């Protein structure tokens, strides 16, 4: 089998995948729920929702870390996804032998810890006293919570990844960027394999409020599982969620040499930054269009070779409109019949994890021959003419997927994945 692509670069195989979302832990639980159109969105119980406009989310509430703050929870989500991915890859759990790329949310000292420290301060003189209390407390766990390098350090230790692990943020495109960085490192010949993880356990009260103040979240709280409705006319914002996705990336040559199962191929990655606005995309969609085209070009593929699109599909009025505009520009009339679905209709928006979680689901779509639906598609938006695989799964042989990830700060990253190497 040829192990280099049409550009002479190593072909990048995926040999392990792991996932955790509000639908459950592991590939099987998630896939079962996903193809049966089950939603993981539920009322918030982690903290009181008094004064909040949004009272639902896709938080992962079934783990011991769920109430321990964003840093610890993000670590545990990443750890569970990584363990599943490494196990599937057949590599030893503690000796991955390649670098780690972790997409994770920015961290801060948790409010509960901040208030507990303050209660112990001698003088109660605002932030000055907080610093004094910190100095007295010698609370290394609190310190670690405030350090951006902590989570990756711990994962690197546990999985025996090589070198200085990279923690990255490209907002809601982060998970895809982690995969892109791993792909690029293998292509440069720096390593035979890499562990790419997107993880986000940062759904704190303050995070919810911050997104809410930007009017990004839906307030359709009454029937939580109906709140996320990408591409529908009555979509009204995204649902904040948590989760993690992990992929073992490996040069095809290395995967074949050790007899690993090749689960799919990362064929191409593309990105393009937007200079229009901090939260809105350029009205002509040119950056997203540029990112899709860059991914196709990096994959050495033409538009008509894409058979399914795993949408960013956040369910915000702005995203879904712009995603439709961008895709229609690239794919033309074919966009009316090219299947596209949004996993976020069921899992919500897992933010830093989304690109990695959705890459796992994209690869499973090809392997299983089933396209997960876009649920809650009851009121089509006439301005968005798409085959969103409405409400029910579809059996289909899919050999190539485009997965979109767009984020605040003008981040646009697209991945092209295929079932087979060539």
Catalytically active residues are 172, 312, 349
Task: Please tell me the distance from the alpha carbon of residue 75 to that of residue 63, in angstroms, as a whole number.
Answer: 12
Question: Does 169 participate in binding another protein (rule CB under 8 A)?
Answer: yes
Phi, psi at residue 300, to the nearest 5°?
A: 65, 35
Scanning 16-24, 32-40, 180-188, 372-380 for contacts with another protein by CB under 8 A, the matching segment is 180-188
How far is CA 259 from each of CA 17, 82, 193, 253, 381, rounded to the nearest angstrom? 17, 20, 14, 10, 48
Interaction residues for another protein, span 79-108 (CB under 8 A): 104, 106-108
Q: How far is the CB of 348 from another protein (least distance, A)?
A: 19
Residues 346 and 188: beta-carbon distance below 8 Å = no
Give the helix/strand (H/E) hosting 246.
strand 243-251
Q: How far is the CB of 26 from another protein (least distance, A)?
A: 28
Question: Does 165 participate in binding another protein (rule CB under 8 A)?
Answer: yes
- CA 219, distance to chain mean position in Å, is 22
- Looking at the Cβ atoms of 84 and 274, the one nearer to another protein is 274
Question: Does 61 participate in binding another protein (rule CB under 8 A)?
Answer: no
Contacting residue, 8, 64, 278, 395, with another protein by CB under 8 A: 278
Question: Does 124 participate in binding another protein (rule CB under 8 A)?
Answer: yes
Scanning 182-190, 193-201, 227-235, 316-324 for contacts with another protein by CB under 8 A, the matching segment is 182-190
CA-closest candidate to residue 229, choices 87, 370, 390: 390
Interaction residues for another protein, span 332-391 (CB under 8 A): none
Task: Please tell me the distance from the alpha carbon of residue 294 to that of residue 49, in angstroms, as a whole number.
Answer: 42
Question: Does 408 participate in binding another protein (rule CB under 8 A)?
Answer: yes
Q: How many residues bind another protein (CB under 8 A)?
A: 78
Handedness of CA 316, 319, 322, 323 (dihedral sign): negative
Scanning 65-73, 117-125, 229-237, 393-401 for contacts with another protein by CB under 8 A, the matching segment is 117-125
Q: How far is the CB of 127 from another protein (least distance, A)?
A: 4
Residues 375 and 250: beta-carbon distance below 8 Å = no
Rg (CA), the chain: 21
Interaction residues for another protein, span 41-60 (CB under 8 A): 47-52
How far is CA 69 from each of CA 64, 76, 203, 394, 411, rounded to the nearest angstrom? 11, 11, 9, 38, 26
Question: Does 164 participate in binding another protein (rule CB under 8 A)?
Answer: yes
- Looking at the Cβ atoms of 107 and 338, the one nearer to another protein is 107
Contacting residue, 13, 130, 196, 346, with another protein by CB under 8 A: 130
DSSP state of 349: B
- Looking at the Cβ atoms of 115 and 383, the one nearer to another protein is 115
Q: Helix 286-299 and helix 317-331: axis angle, to 10°? A: 50
Residue bearing tokens 């394999």: 193
Residues 136 and 120: beta-carbon distance below 8 Å = yes
Question: Does 268 participate in binding another protein (rule CB under 8 A)?
Answer: no
- Looking at the Cβ atoms of 123 and 397, the one nearer to another protein is 123
- Looking at the Cβ atoms of 38 and 282, the one nearer to another protein is 282
Scanning 59-67, 187-195, 241-249, 313-321 for contacts with another protein by CB under 8 A, the matching segment is 187-195
Contacting residue, 1, 95, 111, 378, with another protein by CB under 8 A: 111
């Amino acid at each position: 089998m040829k192990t280099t692509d049409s550009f002479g670069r190593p072909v990048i195989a995926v040999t392990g995948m792991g996932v955790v979302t509000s639908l459950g832990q592991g590939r099987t639980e998630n896939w079962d729920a996903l193809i049966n159109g089950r939603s993981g969105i539920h009322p918030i119980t982690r903290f009181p929702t008094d004064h909040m406009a949004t009272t639902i989310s896709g938080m992962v509430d079934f783990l011991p870390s769920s109430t321990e703050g964003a840093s610890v929870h993000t670590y545990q989500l990443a750890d569970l996804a990584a363990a599943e991915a490494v196990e599937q890859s057949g590599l030893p759990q503690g000796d991955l032998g390649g670098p780690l790329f972790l997409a994770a949310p920015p961290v801060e000292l948790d409010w509960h810890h901040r208030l507990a420290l303050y209660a112990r301060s001698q003088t109660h003189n605002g932030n000055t006293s907080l610093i004094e209390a910190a100095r007295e407390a010698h609370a290394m766990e609190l310190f670690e919570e405030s350090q951006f390098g902590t989570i990756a350090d711990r994962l690197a230790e546990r999985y025996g990844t090589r070198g200085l692990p990279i923690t990255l943020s490209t907002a809601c495109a982060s998970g895809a960027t982690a995969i892109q960085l791993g792909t690029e490192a293998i292509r440069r010949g720096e390593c035979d394999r890499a562990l790419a993880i997107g993880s986000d356990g940062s759904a704190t009260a303050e995070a919810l409020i911050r997104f809410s103040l930007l009017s990004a979240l839906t307030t359709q709280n009454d029937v939580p599982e109906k709140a996320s409705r990408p591409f529908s006319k009555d979509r009204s914002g995204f649902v904040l969620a948590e989760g993690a996705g992990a992929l073992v990336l490996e040069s095809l040559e290395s995967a074949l040499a050790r007899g690993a199962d090749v689960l799919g191929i990362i064929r191409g990655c593309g990105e393009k930054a937007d200079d229009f606005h901090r939260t809105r995309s350029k009205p002509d969609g040119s950056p997203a269009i540029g990112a899709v085209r860059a991914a196709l070009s990096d994959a050495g593929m033409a538009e008509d070779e894409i058979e399914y699109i795993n949408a960013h599909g956040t369910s915000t009025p702005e995203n879904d409109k712009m995603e439709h505009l961008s895709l229609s520009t690239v794919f033309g009339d074919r966009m009316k019949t090219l299947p596209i679905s949004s996993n976020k209709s069921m899992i919500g928006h897992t933010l830093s994890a989304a690109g990695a979680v959705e890459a796992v689901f994209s690869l499973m779509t090809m392997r299983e021959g089933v396209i997960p639906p876009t649920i809650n598609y009851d009121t089509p938006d006439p301005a968005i003419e798409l085959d969103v695989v409405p409400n029910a799964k579809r059996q289909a042989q899919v050999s190539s997927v485009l997965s979109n990830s767009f984020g605040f700060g003008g981040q646009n990253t697209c991945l092209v994945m295929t079932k087979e190497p060539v």
